[in-house]
Structure 1
């Protein structure tokens, strides 16, 4: 079992986890154009988001992430900017060097777990079945991504909570940017929610996105477990 080194002070990973759970919506976003990505990040931050997952998709994802990190440092104090869709230790190392505050996987790999634990960075592996969720916790995951949520639905999470009541779970994939969807997943036992492409569709400008995010976040914070 991989575990983080013991320390009497609050670890960086634990502090990031506390922030993710306190503001329980995490936008999940990718775009090849850095200027557009900065605009989206800024709008989400203005709406109250404090953890944002940029996904490692496309040949220039690392370059865009570096620009986002610089932007966040200058304009988004307190934001935890993480990287998603990480498969290998080498990818994790590259994005941690670029400033990633947390690492999200669609799967669970011991190699990425070890990198995150060595750097004291929050590791969020992906899992679906009870066996996969349990395996992730055995490797030391403090938060597990239930993915894809669209394949199972809130009733599945509710059933999963029977044998695994204490695992911190973030649902991604299938979470709609509506009060009804957020309420169903949070009511089923999700500790936080990843909001993907649906959040950004049919949004005309940054102010509209910030307003939409603020409304959803206000609902989530009053309905989280």
Structure 2
């Protein structure tokens, strides 16, 4: 079962606005990515349900995280149906992230009191997600949207908390544009751990890169 309550997950994300998003079929590599994230100051991250046997990798990775980084919140992403949500919740997912908005996923997560962050792209989808109990919504794909869109949403719906995923770079300029618009957090994938650095086992370089991104993000939200 989850190691953190819904409220703890939401609070962790709001206090730690960068959420790394990653997947790797090799469990040992996934462990090293998770370790680099933690050493870089990350306290919440998302492992995506992509590729064959992703649930098996997640299960072992979650056990590794609980043992070595007990204060690290680890969720499951790319969850598009209730069956997948149920499976990953059974494997210990602290929260569930979806690229789309499906009520069956909402019902499954709410029944188990698991934090749920659905992917939304319109104001109507965001409103529907909140109606179904989402405390934080994921704006996806971010690269097809803009900070102006977030700012426009916060006008009529100032209570809406948005995490932007897709197209966000771990640079001060990119982070500032989204945070200034009102985003409460960002999900960043391969830009935090480029494939070349992973293949070269440059884990300290990756951790340093993450450390700098975390520093910038927190300074912008201070």
- TM-score, structure 1 length as denominator? 0.92
- 2 CA distance for matches of 1:196 and 1:156? 22
| Structure 2: gaps spanning 5 or more residues | none
1:46 paired to 2:39: yes
- 2 CA distance for matches of 1:85 and 1:73? 21
Task: Say whether the 8 Å CA contact 1:123–1:141 is kept in structure 2.
Answer: yes
Q: What is the correspondence of 1:127-138 to structure 2 with a 5 Å cutoff?
A: 127-138=120-131
Displacement of 1:188 in angstroms is 0.9
**Paired residue for 1:145?**
138
Displacement of 1:166 in angstroms is 1.2
Displacement of 1:221 in angstroms is 1.0
Q: 1:193 aligns with which of 170, 176, 186?
A: 186
**Paired residue for 2:204?**
207
- 2 CA distance for matches of 1:147 and 1:187? 18
- 2 CA distance for matches of 1:179 and 1:216? 8
Task: Say whether the 8 Å CA contact 1:149–1:172 is kept in structure 2.
Answer: yes
Displacement of 1:121 in angstroms is 1.0
- 1 CA distance for matches of 2:35 and 2:158? 35
- 1 CA distance for matches of 2:21 and 2:157? 25
**Paired residue for 2:15?**
22
Q: 2:171 aligns with which of 178, 187, 193?
A: 178
- 1 CA distance for matches of 2:192 and 2:214? 12
Displacement of 1:104 in angstroms is 0.2
- 2 CA distance for matches of 1:106 and 1:163? 24
1:164 paired to 2:161: no
- 2 CA distance for matches of 1:102 and 1:75? 19
Aligned residues: 215
Displacement of 1:224 in angstroms is 2.3
Q: What is the correspondence of 1:1-20 to structure 2 with a 5 Å cutoff?
A: 12-20=5-13
- 2 CA distance for matches of 1:77 and 1:215? 23
**Coordinate RMSD, CA, aligned:** 1.3
Displacement of 1:158 in angstroms is 1.4
- 2 CA distance for matches of 1:87 and 1:156? 25
Task: Say whether the 8 Å CA contact 1:192–1:224 is kept in structure 2.
Answer: no
- Of the structure 1 ranges 121-130 and 197-206, higher mean CA displacement relative to structure 2 is found in 197-206
- Of the structure 1 ranges 128-137 and 161-170, higher mean CA displacement relative to structure 2 is found in 161-170
What per-residue deviation string (whole Å, max 9, x for no partner) do you get for residues 187-218 of structure 1? 11100110012221153511111111111111
Displacement of 1:222 in angstroms is 1.7
Task: Say whether the 8 Å CA contact 1:175–1:194 is kept in structure 2.
Answer: yes
Structure 1 runs of 4+ off > 2 angstroms? none
1:155 paired to 2:148: yes
